[in-house]
Amino acid sequence: MRITSKWSMILACTICAGQGAAQAPSKAGPPSYPVLTYPTTSRAPVIPPSEAGLQTIVAQPWYSMTTTMPAFGGMDQNLFIEGPLFDAQGNLLFVEVQGGRVMRLSPKQDLTMILPKNEGHSSGLAFLKNGRILVAGGGGSIFSIRPDGSDKQVIIDPKAGYKPNDLAMDKEGGFYFTDFQGNNAGPTGGVYHVAPDMKTITPIITHLSMPNGIALSPEGKTLWIGEVGTGFLHRIDLATPTQISPVVGTTMRYHFTGATVDSLRTDVDGNVYAALAGEGRVMVFNPKGVPIGQILIPDRDRGELLFTTSMAIKPGTRELYILSSDYPGRTAKIHRAGAFAKAAAAPGP
């Protein structure tokens, strides 16, 4: 028995050695193990697999800008555009963030400056019911101006300690703003409501990490918020303009993967449009927060104009205008595509 066991062990070791020799990689041939590779055909940011199958369209260039254009008054900084808003005459208003300028682009594409360079870093625009233009972000303030840029009136002083970013008007003449502060270690940002008296400020939701985009549903009962630090798309159901519904009033409806959610807009059907800064695209969600489509900037394939910061739907139409910048850089563009539905009605002239 011991002899048999001995020879069995020798035979087994011989077989193992033979198998090991057979499995050893050949020094002459290429490696046989799988290799990870990157796609080399495009410089565009990768779209997550869960979003790649969405209904997708590509926007078309509509208007191009550079820092050397006379309308910018000798701009000496990077051209970064935000806050698009249409007036009753069909002009598209927007801000140049670094210098705080407010610009007006006519339907015939004549570009003029409404508000010259100021303390800078403006990012959001809205119309008050009296026709004045509301401007958020200029040095930590919110102020209003006449349509010609005159008669500046401060509504929130920088000393109040907010960092206003985006705006959303309610039906009564008040408005919401995002306080773009905090981080995941210290979520000190939030969303606040300013009453029609332009004095009473009510916190809606706090302890957020860099809240950015904000939009109100057409009936004024649902508030959408994009939170940069966490990547969440928040839905807040409102009982009144300043009170959250007592039953399941706040929910997180989507978690963006690798994207920086910027401004939000809604259409007349309640769909939500989210600009993804650094992605060169806009995602669209239905009123429940389910992704239903996306719009790509054609320049993203070359890795250009990726900072899609915001968008606006032209009233009475499905024409969606998307702002994108080659930031940091000297160029910016406005692209145009078709939205799911027409613009939601908004207060203002």
Classify each residue of 197-233 as buried b or exposed e, where b means 16 or more C-beta atoms within 10 Å of its C-beta: ebeebeebbeebbbbbbbbbbbebebbbbbbbbbbbb
Contact 295, 337 (CB under 8 A): yes
Contacts of 319 (CB under 8 A, 6+ apart): 313, 336, 338, 339
Q: Which helix (H) or strand (E) holds 8?
A: helix 2-23
* C-alpha to C-alpha distance for 157 and 170, rounded to whole angstroms: 21
Q: Which helix (H) or strand (E) holds 7?
A: helix 2-23
* C-alpha to C-alpha distance for 122 and 167, rounded to whole angstroms: 11
Contact 61, 303 (CB under 8 A): no
φ/ψ of residue 124, rounded to 5: -125, 145
Contacts of 35 (CB under 8 A, 6+ apart): none
Long-range CB contacts for residues 242-245, cutoff 8 Å, separation at least 24: 242/193, 242/195, 242/202, 242/204, 244/204, 244/205
Q: Which helix (H) or strand (E) holds 168?
A: strand 164-169
* C-alpha to C-alpha distance for 100 and 282, rounded to whole angstroms: 24
Peptide bond into 328 cis (omega under 30): yes
Of these residues, 170, 179, 262, 299, which one is catalytic?
262
* C-alpha to C-alpha distance for 136 and 127, rounded to whole angstroms: 12
Active site residue 262: yes
Catalytic residues: 262
